[in-house]
Structure 1
Amino acid sequence: MTEYLLNIATKGNKDYGDEEVRGRVGYISGIVGLVINLILSISKLIIGLAISSIAVMADAFNNLSDAASSIMTIVGFKLSNSPPDEKHPYGHGRVEYITAFIISFMVIMVGFQFIKSSLDRIINPKAVIFQWIPFTFLILSMISKVWLSIFNRKLSEKIDSSALKAVSIDSLWDVVTTFIVASSLLSSFVTDYPIDGYIGIFVSALILYSGFSLIKENISQLIGEAPEEDLVNCITEGVLSYDYVLGVHDLIVHNYGPKKIIATIDVEVPYDIDIVTIHNIVDKAEDEIGEKYNLYLVIHIDPIKKISKDMAKNINSIKDELRKDNVIKCIKDFKFMVEDSEKYINCDLILDYEKLDKDFSKSKFKEELIARIKSIDSSIGYNITIDI
């Protein structure tokens, strides 16, 4: 069903990095959620009034807030896909985070409202009337919410959306709350004591927990989180793979919303290389790495005066030798240094644990590796750290 709805929404386009496709995925999530939650809300409200259950009515208004959240999802994706303008040159992608933030507040408001209603029911207790038809409907409601949670989780993973992740988590909590409400109806078989208000308090507490958890996550994104380590390593290693790049530093990654990342990095190059040559290399790196990781990359060139073009060729050969070893998973912080006429290379090597032999020796591996790269240029010292 998920793939069927996705195909309808995206018209078969699977490029989830494309802004228009992301928007369509957000719209289908909002529309499906709106329809399901309106049906559940109206039905539960009627049932709650019919059997005098404050817990069922609390669940009904919880679903009504979910319907409002679905509307916010649609509006949020519409605004976040608005093109850049004079005041917002990097687009409106962070609107999606704000949407998730508003959804979280709406969830919290519902939680507080029904703590109040549940306390009132505890003070003024009223017997709950058990009926099989309302109980069966609550079971069907849980099944629909499980599906809705899985549906939105899959969509959030496809387009990397915090808003849809919030909707998915909220739907999962709805399953828990409805289960507790259904249990309160069953309790009428066991005891005549009206526990409905206490169940309502518990349901409200779960709703509040969900809302505050979502707010915490989205505040972090709005303030600005550190980039993922994998992305940092991929950008760094990618830039280092180009000819005449001796080292990199000062990588800064800016997030302007899902799939809207701008990165800047300084690269060290030989002082005597032709400016046109290095300019073409940098342009190629910006385009290829940007396209590969779906970001906009800006590279600043730092000429290193004590490094000649010939030395740069040797350094490139050393990098190539390191990449040839299939045990080496990642090269980090590769840097060529010259101090007091002494030349040396610093770098961290991350090894692939699954490719190591049982009798693997880190010291022996390091010794053999340095011997291999010293055969390229023995005038360079090597400060290599091995991590697994």
Structure 2
Amino acid sequence: MFSEFLVKSLIKDYQHTEKTEVRVKYGYLGGVVGILANLLLFTVKLTTGLALNSIAFIGDAFNNLTDVASSLVTILGFKLAGKPADEEHPFGHGRLEYIAGLIVSFLVILVGYELIKSSLDRILHPVPVTFSLPAFLIIIFAILTKGWLSLFNRYLARAIDSQALSATSFDSLSDMISTGCIGLSLLASLWTSFPLDGYVGIIVSGIILYSGISLTKETISPLLGEVPEQELVENITKKVLSYEGITGVHDLIVHSYGPGRHMASIHAEVPSNKDIMELHELIDHVERQVSKELGIVLTIHMDPVNVDSEELMRMQEEVAQILQEFPQVQSFHDFRIVGKNEKENLIFDVVVKSGMSKEEEKELRKAITRKVQEKHPHFFCIITIDKDYTAQG
């Protein structure tokens, strides 16, 4: 595969896509290849357009020249995203890659808008089209070039999970389709004078506009802050729980500051009857190891759990059974009993999906308290609602 050959030939350590410098090289490669391909198409189309005195060809040539801007945006985006952290941006500049993808997405929408305008104009004001073999061959060459460019950028995008390169890939695909409409009208001119390209262009422009808007949403989502990848969530949870002395985890929150730049915090449950200094040393060790293994910055909050109280363990089991009646509750933690005799409080946190409203939270607390007091009237429940910020859908 030629795309793979280019990557292996031009990018040292191409396998290590988790490294910022390698990601930047992938972005540079996509941008440089895009510039060279679009300059080639510009030159060929402009030469053909001048030779045939074809306004359509000359216009399409300058459209390829504007596509060079998309490639420059990609290069600039990766260059800025690869800058190290500074005083103003202590978590780096990785999100600039998303902004580069957003700009390219806007350019895709612009292509769709311009295509729908020209298609409507062709329907309302039909122009006779005369078939030309040299022109048709140039169009075929342009379609093949743009098609390969789209596949090449998609290959790079998948290799480093890049929204910017995904947008660039679709930008090339939309150009390929637009050029295809010109080729269709040229070919159809052999049999009919009906402006078929105008109607096909309307359909194609609708597809391009829809895809451009979808790309925009995809690039805005990580800027706003989205649910982390489940693989990362599972890896963090699994690795933290793998250490002896940690009995449970909860309250995992992951923040992304660009591709491959994650900060996470998690609460780790430890037995309260262990030496506090040993536990502190354990937590520090786990933070360092997991951060290194996963390429993230991990902070762990230590939650001591009372394992010596028989009453606490018995009530925890009973509450666990009660909570099974509430499908919106995913788990519970930080369970403890405060007070004595007739004034005892059960204090615990329950985890629910992040979409639950304040009113629904209030009703859930009341319902759980009611169920507990049916069996143990002297207990009052103090329940904290925790949101699960890692669950998708």
Q: List alignment gaps of at least 5 residues for structure 1.
A: 309-331, 347-388
CA–CA separation in structure 2 for the residues paired with 1:4 and 1:37: 21
In the TM superposition, residue 337 of structure 1 has moved relative to its aligned partner by 5.8
In the TM superposition, residue 190 of structure 1 has moved relative to its aligned partner by 1.2
In the TM superposition, residue 154 of structure 1 has moved relative to its aligned partner by 1.8
In the TM superposition, residue 205 of structure 1 has moved relative to its aligned partner by 3.3
CA–CA separation in structure 2 for the residues paired with 1:45 and 1:206: 28
Compared CA separation, residues 36 and 182, structure 1 to 2 (3 A) = same
**Corresponding residue for 1:214?**
215
**Corresponding residue for 2:290?**
289
CA–CA separation in structure 2 for the residues paired with 1:218 and 1:296: 23
**Corresponding residue for 1:178?**
179
Q: List alignment gaps of at least 5 residues for structure 2.
A: 310-329, 338-343, 351-393
CA contact 1:170–1:210 (8 Å) conserved in 2: no
> What code does the residue aligned with 1:205 have?
G
The superposition leaves residues 251-287 of structure 1 with CA deviations (integer Å, 9 ceiling, x where unpaired) of 0000110000111001111123223322332233223
The superposition leaves residues 299-341 of structure 1 with CA deviations (integer Å, 9 ceiling, x where unpaired) of 1111224459xxxxxxxxxxxxxxxxxxxxxxx969796779x
CA contact 2:13–2:22 (8 Å) conserved in 1: no
CA contact 1:53–1:196 (8 Å) conserved in 2: no
CA contact 1:138–1:178 (8 Å) conserved in 2: yes
CA–CA separation in structure 2 for the residues paired with 1:78 and 1:272: 52
CA contact 2:303–2:334 (8 Å) conserved in 1: no
- TM-score if structure 1 supplies the norm length? 0.74
Compared CA separation, residues 241 and 11, structure 1 to 2 (3 A) = closer
CA contact 1:93–1:256 (8 Å) conserved in 2: yes
CA contact 1:108–1:207 (8 Å) conserved in 2: yes
> What code does the residue aligned with 2:81 have?
S
CA–CA separation in structure 1 for the residues paired with 2:155 and 2:238: 30
> Size of the alignment, in residue pairs?
322
The superposition leaves residues 7-28 of structure 1 with CA deviations (integer Å, 9 ceiling, x where unpaired) of 3432345311111111111101
- TM-score if structure 2 supplies the norm length? 0.73
Compared CA separation, residues 58 and 248, structure 1 to 2 (3 A) = farther
CA–CA separation in structure 1 for the residues paired with 2:163 and 2:285: 32
The superposition leaves residues 110-159 of structure 1 with CA deviations (integer Å, 9 ceiling, x where unpaired) of 33234334434444432122111221222222222222222212211221
CA–CA separation in structure 2 for the residues paired with 1:13 and 1:185: 43
**Corresponding residue for 2:303?**
302
Q: Percent identity?
A: 48
> What code does the residue aligned with 1:11 have?
K
Q: CA RMSD in A?
A: 3.1
Compared CA separation, residues 291 and 51, structure 1 to 2 (3 A) = farther
CA–CA separation in structure 1 for the residues paired with 2:200 and 2:278: 72
Deviates more, 1:277-286 or 1:19-28: 277-286
Deviates more, 1:115-124 or 1:291-300: 115-124
Deviates more, 1:116-125 or 1:224-233: 116-125
**Corresponding residue for 1:280?**
281
* SS across alignment from 1:269: strand
**Corresponding residue for 2:354?**
none
Compared CA separation, residues 278 and 263, structure 1 to 2 (3 A) = same
In the TM superposition, residue 191 of structure 1 has moved relative to its aligned partner by 0.5
**Corresponding residue for 2:144?**
143
CA–CA separation in structure 2 for the residues paired with 1:284 and 1:247: 17
CA–CA separation in structure 1 for the residues paired with 2:232 and 2:192: 57
**Corresponding residue for 2:267?**
266
> What code does the residue aligned with 1:36 have?
A
Aligned ranges 1:333-372 → 2 under 5 Å: none
Aligned ranges 1:31-180 → 2 under 5 Å: 31-47=32-48, 50=52, 52=54, 54=56, 59-180=60-181
Compared CA separation, residues 43 and 307, structure 1 to 2 (3 A) = farther
Q: Does 1:224 align with 2:225?
A: yes
CA contact 2:115–2:178 (8 Å) conserved in 1: no
CA contact 1:92–1:256 (8 Å) conserved in 2: yes
